[in-house]
Amino acid sequence: MLRIAVPNKGSLSGPAGEMLHEAGYQQRREAKELRIVDPENEVEFFYLRPRDIAIYVSSGRLDIGITGRDLLIDSAADAEEILPLGFARSTFRFATKPGTATSIEDLAGMTVATSYEGIVAKYLADQGIDASVVHLDGAVETAIELGVAEVIADVVETGTSLRNAGLEVFGEPIMKSEAAVIRRSGAETSEDTERKVQQFLRRLQGVLVARTYVMMDYDCRVEQLEKAVALTPGLESPTVSPLHNEGWVAVRAMVPSKEAQRIMDDLYDIGARAILTTAIHACRL
Ligand SMILES: Nc1ncnc2c1ncn2[C@@H]1O[C@H](COP(=O)(O)OP(=O)(O)OP(=O)(O)O)[C@@H](O)[C@H]1O
Ligand SMILES: O=P(O)(O)OC[C@H]1O[C@H](OP(=O)(O)OP(=O)(O)O)[C@H](O)[C@@H]1O
Ligand SMILES: [Mg+2]
């Protein structure tokens, strides 16, 4: 049985559960469940605090886990990222009231409030800046108003929380984060566990592909085929089948969903017709 850590709360929890459900795994029915077994898929899910997941995985008690890259690095646990998952994307940045600091060098002698002490302390040490770090559990944007720190370092997605607190980012982003599957560094596992881990990763990759690609079908004249195929090269190469009407072919290829409308316009312009896109529900590449 593969033992997998899943975030039980916060920004990672909902999207992680959805992705696992799309990959065909059973998920808990109510938020208080701490552990479920999915016997058909031979996996056991442990619902843990996102911050603790890297620690459990590095201990070797759980085979793999889903957490944020920033949380993994902050924990300094002996675990590594094996598959980025594309959700809970954020940057980690310094911010302050306008006029307090404009560059990292200005941080010398100041106090920085953050929930990610490990990342901040290491970054400051690497840059050779002598500043104090105060740990807060969350809502760190308020720390400046209340005089606990002059500067904060926090997760920024849309920037709304910073704007609402009258704060502005400064300096380069400290890091970019997203959710990821993690595993103990240099894990030595049995052949059976390795096979199960690889199968789990392939299933999640299938979901990622199904989310980012659509299937495109269209008809075009043989003379236009080269131009059409250049627009829809597919992952390996598109399928081309003859049509009953001589001189025409049907083409089928996967295209990135974000570009689908532009590609349909371009195909139409070179004379392709009956251009259809359909969703991909699951896939193994
Ligand atoms: N607004 C956000 N947008 C995208 N990712 C976010 C956002 N807030 C937090 N994250 C990401 O979620 C992870 C943190 O999850 P965690 O559950 O610890 O915090 P949270 O979502 O802020 O919840 P909590 O309210 O419990 O603090 C990190 O990887 C972080 O980068
Ligand atoms: O740039 P934004 O889109 O505003 O998102 C970033 C905010 O979201 C998270 O806070 P959360 O709501 O989880 O509260 P917390 O600070 O208590 O963790 C994060 O800590 C930021 O405060
Ligand atoms: Mg938070």
Same domain, 173 and 94: yes
* Cα separation values, 285 from 192, 201, 205, 235, Å: 22, 12, 8, 9
Token pair recorded at residue 194: 């390795």
CA distance 45 to 212: 26
CA distance 156 to 176: 10
Residue-range definition of the domain harbouring residue 170: 90-177
pTM: 0.92
| C-beta separation of 281 from 209 below 8 A | no
Nearest CA to ligand 2 atom 17: 138
Q: What's the gap between Cα 26 and its chain centre?
A: 21
Same domain, 20 and 72: yes
* CA-derived radius of gyration, the chain: 24
Q: Work out which ligand 2 atom sits closest to the CA atom of 141.
A: 22
- Ligand 3 mean position to 175 CA, how many Å? 16
CA distance 216 to 214: 6
The pLDDT > 90 percentage for the chain reads: 96
Q: What is the complex's ipTM, to 2 decimals?
A: 0.95
Same domain, 45 and 184: yes
How high does pLDDT run on average in the chain?
A: 97
203 within a domain of the structure (yes/no): no
125 within a domain of the structure (yes/no): yes
pLDDT in tens, 132-181: 999 999 999 999 999 999 999 999 999 999 999 999 999 999 999 999 99
pLDDT in tens, 39-81: 999 999 999 999 999 999 999 999 999 999 999 999 999 999 9
Residue 217's Cβ-side half-sphere holds a number of Cα atoms within 13 Å equal to 8
Residue 178: phi and psi, rounded to 5, are: -160, 170
201 within a domain of the structure (yes/no): no
Alpha helix (H) residue ranges in 213-251 = 225-231
Nearest of 45, 13, 9 to residue 27 by alpha carbon: 45
Of the residues 115, 149, 177, the one at which a domain ends = 177
Residue 26: predicted pLDDT: 96
Residue 228: predicted pLDDT: 98
Average pLDDT for residues 9-16, to the nearest whole number? 97
Q: Which of 11, 51, 67, 85 to mutate to test ligand 1, by most ligand atoms within 8 A of the CB atom?
A: 11
Same domain, 95 and 140: yes
| C-beta separation of 227 from 270 below 8 A | yes
Same domain, 183 and 50: yes
206 within a domain of the structure (yes/no): no
127 within a domain of the structure (yes/no): yes
* Number of separate domains in the chain: 3
Token pair recorded at residue 254: 């996967």
Which pLDDT band holds residue 212 (cuts at 50, 70, 90)? Answer: very high
pLDDT in tens, 225-273: 999 999 999 999 999 999 999 999 999 999 999 999 999 999 999 999 9
Residue 186: predicted pLDDT: 87
Residue 7: predicted pLDDT: 98
DSSP one-letter code for 41: G
Of the residues 131, 155, 177, the one at which a domain ends = 177
Residue 188: predicted pLDDT: 82
Nearest of 175, 181, 163 to residue 116 by alpha carbon: 175
CA distance 248 to 50: 55
Cβ–ligand 1 contact at 68 (below 6 Å): yes
208 within a domain of the structure (yes/no): no
Nearest CA to ligand 2 atom 10: 139
Nearest bound ligand to the CA of residue 162? 2
Residue 285: predicted pLDDT: 84
The pLDDT > 70 percentage for the chain reads: 100
At 201, which amino acid appears? L
pLDDT in tens, 104-120: 999 999 999 999 999 99
> Exposed e or buried b for every residue in 59-89, given b needs 16+ CB within 10 A?
eeebbbbbbbbbbbbbbebebbbebebebbe
Same domain, 6 and 51: yes
Token pair recorded at residue 74: 């902050």
Reply yes or no on whether the pLDDT at 184 is more than 80: yes
Same domain, 107 and 74: no
Q: Work out which ligand 1 atom sits closest to the CA atom of 155.
A: 31
267 within a domain of the structure (yes/no): yes
| C-beta separation of 194 from 174 below 8 A | no
Residue 187: predicted pLDDT: 75
Cβ–ligand 2 contact at 157 (below 6 Å): yes
Which pLDDT band holds residue 94 (cuts at 50, 70, 90)? Answer: very high
